[in-house]
Amino acid sequence: MTTTLHLHGKRGVELLHDPLLNKGTAFGESERDLLGLRGLLPPRIATQEQQLERVLENYRRKENDLEKYIYLISLQERNEALFYRLVMEHLSEMMPIIYTPTVGLACQKYGHIFRRPRGLYISKNDQGRVKGILQNWPQADVRIIVITDGERILGLGDLGANGMGIPVGKLSLYTACAGIDPSQCLPIMLDVGTNNSALLADPLYLGLPEPRLRGPEYDALVAEFVSAAQQVFPKACIQFEDFGNANAFRLLHHYRDRACTFNDDIQGTAGVTLAGLISSERLTGLPLTQQKFLFLGAGEAGIGIGDLIVEALKLSGVPEKKAREQCWFVDSKGLVVKSRSDLVEHKRRFAHDHKPVASLLEAVEALKPTALIGVSGMPQTFTEDVVKAMARLNRRPVIFALSNPTSKAECTAVQCYTWTEGRGIFASGSPFSPVNYLGVTHQPGQGNNSYIFPGVGLGVIASEARRVTDEMFYVAARQLATMVTEEDLMVGRIYPDLKRIREVSAKIAVQVAEVAFQRNLTNMLRPANLEAHVKEAMFDPHYPSYV
């Protein structure tokens, strides 16, 4: 039974203003007397189900997605349990609002729709006092930190401090999809300025109106944050989110063996994409070892996917050199080949011997890939000619248009199914509606990272892992693929129904925790029943009793 000890002495108005504890009109008679709430609430007591009916009615009355986003954030700020109950029970409806694509628009307008601060802001002016800032956070047992510097928000680019909407949204999905307690989640904005001229000229912009910090001073600020986080929140996992390519790879490489950390844009995207490729084997009849993958986009998402595919192929017995030769990349200057002198470090390991090729269509014709993966942030780059070429070369062409938000997708679901005469195996980063082509309904799979990172995070928390490894993302991808049913595949969906996301996340968490125990990445003794241990750790959005 929950007791008043969980309230940390909070009573009356203070209690009503704490979103982690507030139940609003659902406080019962005895609770109102005991906690000094008598007269502060309307006299009629409501159940959480009645509250849910009210907020859903108000939510659906909103005229556009941005207004719906604002409403949900306001609900989250006053009653977390009710917010998560609403999101969990209507996840397919709510996810496009609290995350992609609507969160992208919300970030663009963040300074104009700002109501109250959420999370922590660390600016370049805070060097030398980051630990003190972290100690200002009211929750002591933080287990998941999502931090961004706002340089590469979705496919929208540099949004500076407006990028805070991304850590807030990501952590909402950690709770909604994997049941991580919201009191253990901390969003952080690392404000190092912005090079977005429109934001610099906007008087309502909330961040530092200065050019981006670069070089040793930037690195020193990140290092101070990581060190302080390890001291203040020793059991926390740090997720780097939406950093620019130049910093994302560098920071991941530097910290992955020094802290419990990962980069979702690199590793989470890789995991969900690999899972989709494994699922698609059941439709194409081609194992990964016999496939050739062509990427449009050679940034952190694309290279991360390539690296995890290589790991998967190696585990299937393919030598690393041959595994890398199954992955080809096209960037803004054409096919990534060894003869090019303009390649940055992360592209070189996928540069192969081949004559220069200027366009994506030429690359498709020359390489004859079995799967085309778009992570370019460039809309409509999978043209009709490109997709039709893939359909001519493959009985069941795999077409993944993964760029976010929806407006950045390389092609739409309708285009894919139409141009492949219904034979395409399609997945996208943002949701698309079902498509009816010649009387057959296709349900496009959403290769959303929310299938992967919440479960990985839950597994890290449940095992108290000291590190996050590529193997964890590999086992997460394998587990996700095994949960795709024949019914899913019959309608062309290569990911499980979103309604099963908490079940999926729990299964992934068990696999991730097993890796931590098997590789001695934790000091915790393995629980006798790991699955039960994981499920016990999951947050329940139903109200507790305070008497």
CATH number reported for the structural domain that contains residue 241 in this entry: 3.40.50.10380
Same domain, 9 and 69: yes
* Residue 169 forms part of a structural domain: yes
Contacts of residue 155, defined as CB under 8 A and 6 or more positions apart, other chains included, come to: 104, 377, 403, 404, 405, 407, 408
Q: Provide the whole-model pTM.
A: 0.95
Mean pLDDT value across residues 522-539: 97
Among 71, 96, 121, the domain boundary falls at 96
Q: 336-373 pLDDT, tens per residue? A: 999 999 999 889 999 999 999 999 999 999 999 999 99
At residue 25 the predicted structure's pLDDT band, cuts being 50, 70 and 90, is very high
Mean pLDDT value across residues 433-449: 94
* Residue 501 forms part of a structural domain: no
Containing domain of residue 374, as a range?
269-450
Residue 196 φ/ψ, nearest 5 degrees: -85, 110
Same domain, 20 and 125: no
Q: Is the pLDDT of residue 3 over 80?
A: no
Same domain, 116 and 235: yes
Same domain, 182 and 306: no
Domain count, the chain: 3
Q: What is the pLDDT of residue 310?
A: 97
Q: 468-478 pLDDT, tens per residue? A: 999 999 999 99
Q: Is the pLDDT of residue 148 over 80?
A: yes
Same domain, 414 and 431: yes
Taking alpha carbons only, the member of 167, 164, 52, 185 closest to residue 116 is 164
Write the burial class of residue 511 (CB in 10 Å: 0-12 exposed, 13-18 middle, 19+ buried): buried
CA distances for 15 relative to 7, 79, 111, 184, 479, angstroms = 8, 11, 28, 19, 41
Same domain, 85 and 102: no
Mean pLDDT value across residues 296-324: 96
DSSP state of 425: E
Q: 227-249 pLDDT, tens per residue? A: 999 999 999 999 999 999 889 99
CATH number at residue 296: 3.40.50.720
Among 394, 427, 450, the domain boundary falls at 450
Instruction: Supply the residues annotated as catalytic.
Output: 99, 170
At residue 154 the predicted structure's pLDDT band, cuts being 50, 70 and 90, is confident
At residue 2 the predicted structure's pLDDT band, cuts being 50, 70 and 90, is very low
Same domain, 92 and 108: no
